[in-house]
Structure 1
Amino acid sequence: MIGDEEAIGTILNRLRRAHGQLAGVIGMIEDGRDCKDVVTQLAAVSRALDRAGFKIVATGLRECLDEDAKTGNESLDVEQLEKLFLALA
């Protein structure tokens, strides 16, 4: 996957935070909390997951480009990049 240890740490922290937030949302629903509060927390979970996904794509892209430059391989084409980013949109 991703070789950059700092990026891996950042991604894992974001995913762990999202995991905790999602557990909180489940608890809020079970406790019958106000819809507005639940939706606000669910939106925070969604943003955390999006940020983790974008970090994965950005880090992977950087590594792919670096590796392709070193080996002389052809880089990802625009269509492949577009598919990666649209998967998160």
Structure 2
Amino acid sequence: MQVPSAETKHPSHVEQTPRLNRAIGQLEGVKRMIAKGEYCVDIMTQLRAARSALKTIELSVLETHMRSCLSRTSCCDDEKLRDQQVGEILTLLKKYE
């Protein structure tokens, strides 16, 4: 994986903060459910909702990466850099199947 240089400007993901806060709230709710000894199926349902929320955030960050980082490399003649960026995305997709 490429180590970013000091000159590399990464896109902001600040807009994901409210979604992250909701996911954190869901997980805190799961902790409370477990502490209260609530029904396993209800806990699993809330865990699935939190997982879904995180997946939505993950896909949004990936989309931003693809739009921002790849667009910068697609217009240059550095084929090695383009291949490296595509490789990063493929690695991420394989890791999170």
TM-score relative to the length of structure 2: 0.74
Q: Distance in 2 between matches of 1:15 and 1:73?
A: 35
Match of 1:21 among 26, 32, 56: 26
Q: Distance in 2 between matches of 1:60 and 1:87?
A: 16
Q: Distance in 2 between matches of 1:13 and 1:88?
A: 23
| Number of positions where the alignment pairs a residue of Structure 1 with one of Structure 2 | 85
Alignment of 1:41-52 (within 5 A): 41-52=46-57
Gaps of 5+ in 1: none
Amino acid in the other structure paired with 1:8: V
Q: Which residue of 2 aligns with 1:55?
A: 60
* C-alpha RMSD of the superposition: 2.0
Q: Which residue of 2 aligns with 1:8?
A: 14
Q: Which has the larger radius of gyration?
A: 2
Identity in percent: 31
Which contiguous aligned blocks of 4+ residues in structure 1 show a shift greater than 6 angstroms?
Answer: none
Q: Which residue of 2 aligns with 1:88?
A: 96
Q: Which residue of 1 aligns with 2:5?
A: none
Structure with the largest fraction of helix: 1
TM-score relative to the length of structure 1: 0.80
